[in-house]
Every structure is written in C-alpha cells, then in structure tokens.
C-alpha cells in the first residue's frame, strides 16, 4: 500500500476504536489479521498471538477494556505520534483510565506497529510497559 493509504486506514481504525465502533474496526481489519500482544501481558487467556478480525475486535473493542478498566469512568486514548512509510504505520499513544480491579489510575504509553495490505490491516504488534500495567491492575507478578 502507498503511505497515504496506510495513514488513512490506520486513522480510520483509531477513529472506530476510540468510538467503540466494532463494525468500523472490522472494516479496517483483514479477516485473517494477527494481533501480537506483549508476551507478558495478562489478557485473561495466555496468548502469544490472536488471529482473525472478529476475535481481535471482540478483544480490543470490548472484552479486554471491560476486564481491565472501570468503564464507568473516563477512558482516553491520545495518539501522540504516527509515522507511516509504505505499508507500515507506527503509532505511539497514551492510554489513561482507572484500573477495574484496584481503582488505581492507569496512565501508560503504547507503541503499535501495523502492517497493511489490500486496504486492510493484516498484522498488529503491540508494545507496552506490562510491569507498570501489572502493578496498577493488581496482576500476580509471581504467576
């Protein structure tokens, strides 16, 4: 994909993600998309990767958010920087919320790398400080 197409696609994906528009998210993702979260992320089911647009949208567009954060309180995702070249986009963003299990403030920085092809996101790789997340959310660090 060309740089401008990739940028528009990833911007559209973030617009859908931040407005909880699951249909919009699905429209941006390849049916066989792969999401690779950090190996140390506690997502409920220990997964190295997640495959398939529906599974990714169910997780990122709802389940993970509801499990991790108090959805009755503000949740804010702020894109800090997006760098796009050809079929690849790198997005730095900040997520602020309230951890559901502990009530702690959550303020973490993320970096996502997206690979796009045929007008859809085909691969999503997530980087985040999982030690900070574990402390704020009360995850068992010895597990």
Residue 64: inside a domain, yes or no?
yes
Question: Which CATH number covers residue 76?
Answer: 3.10.450.50
pLDDT in tens, the chain (143 residues): 999 999 999 999 999 999 989 999 999 999 999 999 988 776 544 456 889 999 999 999 888 888 899 999 999 999 999 999 999 999 999 999 999 999 999 999 999 999 999 999 999 999 999 899 999 988 876 65
Kindly list the distances between the CA atom of residue 93 and the CA atoms of 36, 54, 114, in Å, as whole numbers in the listed order: 17, 23, 13
Domain count, the chain: 1
Task: Look up the domain containing 86 and give its range.
Answer: 3-137
The Cα–Cα gap between 142 and 125 comes to 25
Do residues 53 and 34 make contact, with C-beta atoms less than 8 angstroms apart?
A: no
Considering the domain boundaries, does residue 143 fall inside one? no
pLDDT given for residue 62 in this prediction: 84
pLDDT for the residue 36: 94
Residue 139's pLDDT is: 81
Q: Print burial letters for 73-100: b (CB count within 10 Å at least 16), e (below 16).
A: eebeeeeeebebeebbbbbebebebbbb
pTM of the model: 0.90
């Amino acid at each position: 994909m060309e740089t401008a197409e990739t940028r528009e696609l990833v911007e559209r994906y973030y617009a859908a993600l931040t407005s909880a528009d699951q249909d919009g998210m699905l429209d941006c993702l390849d049916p066989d998309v792969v999401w690779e979260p950090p190996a140390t992320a506690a997502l409920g089911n220990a997964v190295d990767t997640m495959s398939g647009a529906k599974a990714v949208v169910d997780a990122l567009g709802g389940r993970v958010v509801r499990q991790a954060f108090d959805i009755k309180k503000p949740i804010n995702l702020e894109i800090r920087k997006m760098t796009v070249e050809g079929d690849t986009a790198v997005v730095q963003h900040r997520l602020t919320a309230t951890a559901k299990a502990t009530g702690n403030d959550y303020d973490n920085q993320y970096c996502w790398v997206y690979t796009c092809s045929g007008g859809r996101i085909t691969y999503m790789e997530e980087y985040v400080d999982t030690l900070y997340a574990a402390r704020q959310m009360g995850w068992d660090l010895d597990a």
